[in-house]
Amino acid sequence: MQQEPESLMIKLQEQIDALQAKVSTLENSRKDQLSIAIVSGDLDKIMAAMIISLAAATMDTKVKLFFSFWALSALRSKNVRGKGKNFISRMFGVMLPRGKNRLKLSKMNMAGAGPLMIKHLMKKQGVLCIDQMFKDAGELGIEIVVCEMSMNLMGFKKEEMMDYPHLSYAGAVTFVCDANESSMQLFI
């Protein structure tokens, strides 16, 4: 049976619309964007995450870092003490490194001698120091998202978090949405 040309056109238009919707979903899922879920709070792993992020940002790749759990120690400021904490939160606060300059190494920490040696070597060989990495990251527009749930779990307060120009607070869904549209996703 021959179809009416008009109904055929409508059918074609519907198919084109459906395809267009599919293509735009595909395109948005391959954005030039890097999402990293950073969970580790070791100096070496935070550095790895920052170096990869900086390399991506120099190539104008959008970078979104999701800091969670132990990694939150890296974002604490050295001097600010959170107020209104209960006993367990205070214990966490005391036990965990206060900021990116007090992080431990995952291997060869040697009661703090390891990080000192690594920092000495980095300086000698012209590797950016961790403070400079965060400063450059801020200038390049790298976004840091703090996992609010783990921040509360560890008893950290917002006022304890370092000054960073693109810092926001969100939940796991934000990471999943960001990661979904990124062409690169890493977990450190």
The residues of the shown chain that bind other proteins, judged by CB under 8 A, are 51, 54-55, 58-60, 125-128, 136, 140
Q: Tell the smallest beta-carbon distance from residue 45 to other proteins (Å).
A: 17
Q: Tell the smallest beta-carbon distance from residue 31 to other proteins (Å).
A: 14
Residue placing its CB nearer to other proteins in the complex, 136 or 181 = 136
* CA 80 centroid distance within chain: 22
Q: Tell the smallest beta-carbon distance from residue 44 to other proteins (Å).
A: 15
Strands (E), the chain: 31-38, 62-67, 143-147, 167-170, 182-187
Q: Tell the smallest beta-carbon distance from residue 57 to other proteins (Å).
A: 8
19, amino acid identity: L
Residue placing its CB nearer to other proteins in the complex, 50 or 179 = 50
Helix axes 43-58, 130-139, angle to 10 degrees: 30
Residue placing its CB nearer to other proteins in the complex, 51 or 116 = 51
| Cβ atoms 66, 174 nearer than 8 A | yes
Strand order in the sheet with 31-38: 167-170, 143-147, 62-67, 31-38, 182-187
Residue placing its CB nearer to other proteins in the complex, 29 or 58 = 58
